[in-house]
Amino acid sequence: MGLTTIFDIAGSGMNAQSLRLNTTASNIANAETASSSASKTYRGRHPVFAASFPQMLGQPDNANAMDAPPESLGVAVKGIVESDAPLQPRYEPENPLADEQGYVYYPNVNVVEEMTNMISASRSYQVNVEVANAAKQMVQKILTLGQ
Amino acid sequence: MAISFRNSVGLYESALKLRSARAEILAGNLANADTPGYQARDFNFADALKNQMNNSPAGDELRLTQPMHQGGLDGAGGGAMDVQFRTPTQPSLDGNTVEEQVEHAEFMQNSLEYQTSFTLLNSRFRGLMSAIKGE
């Protein structure tokens, strides 16, 4: 407890948001990655966030802290899930990847959705940076006490 | 008349402690701005300060004797703060009640007030110092 916990919390937020930004980048980069079979096609990836106690942030199996008594909580990434949305089969017989019927499969990535995700993630990241900065100023200030 | 450090510093010390505890809670809210189902939390600063001032007996504070024991959130007196969930003005579909602009404003205000308390505490120390030196 104390001001230094804020660094852990803001750090966990930055970590989670940068991971979200990472998956977004991967989704956008692979938005047009065609494949010849539905099972091999890239699927959109999304991180799952969960609240977590700051002191347990580094531990892989940390319990869901949401039901615990109110206290300051950091954020942990529980895992990354692949989207179940239907893939987009397109009729492109000239494509070398096309199957016997002339179809290729495109990922179920919605680029518009990913762009909004990207904006949200980068804004949230900035907020966490600002929080860490404010905490830094508070700590630096307290070190000058009595001077 | 003897100089009482505790009396002259008392209020600002508690205020600083509570301000930093509140900063921590608000930082948690901001970090969880995108966590589904997370409920924003906060406490009433004025009430917490009042509790803290009434409950903490001069000089005696609760001490942790075992590392496994739970400490009070503010490290002194314990339970001075009554942490509650915030009522959102626009709840979101995923059950998250963090409103980033509200939390951000609260956090910034809190850190400014922390600096205010700090400045006042610091000037108390300066006052004591000049009283001791007699300059």
Query: Count of CB atoms within 10 A of residue A136's CB?
Result: 14
CA dihedral sign, ordered A104, A107, A109, A111: negative
Which residue of B34, B68, B74, B117 is the best one to mutate when testing the A interface, meaning the one whose CB has the most A CBs within 10 A? B34
The one-letter code for the residue type at A33 is: T
B24 and A5 within 8 Å at the Cβ level: the answer is: yes
Looking at the complex, report in whole angstroms how far the Cα of residue A59 sits from the nearest Cα belonging to chain B. Answer: 18
- In contact, A8 and A128? CB cutoff 8 Å: no
Of A59, A74, A80, the residue nearest B35 (C-alpha)? A74
3-state SS, residue A81: strand
Digits of tens for pLDDT over chain A (147 positions)? 578 889 999 999 999 999 999 999 999 999 999 998 888 899 999 999 998 886 666 555 555 555 555 567 889 899 999 999 999 999 999 999 898 899 999 999 999 999 999 999 999 999 999 999 999 999 998 898 887
Q: What is the pLDDT of residues B70-89, one digit of tens each?
A: 554 444 345 677 888 889 88
Q: Give the integer Cα–Cα distance in Å for B113 and B129.
A: 24
B83 Cβ under 8 Å from any chain A Cβ: yes
Nearest-CA residue of chain A relative to B123? A146
Model confidence, pTM: 0.80
CA angle A14–B20–B77, rounded 5-degree value: 130
Of A38, A17, A34, A142, the residue nearest A86 (C-alpha)? A38
- Residue B118 has its nearest CB partner, among A70, A75, A142, at A142
Q: Give the integer Cα–Cα distance in Å for B97 and A121.
A: 17
- In contact, B21 and B41? CB cutoff 8 Å: no
Nearest-CA residue of chain A relative to B110? A134
User: What's the ipTM?
Assistant: 0.79
Nearest-CA residue of chain B relative to A125? B31
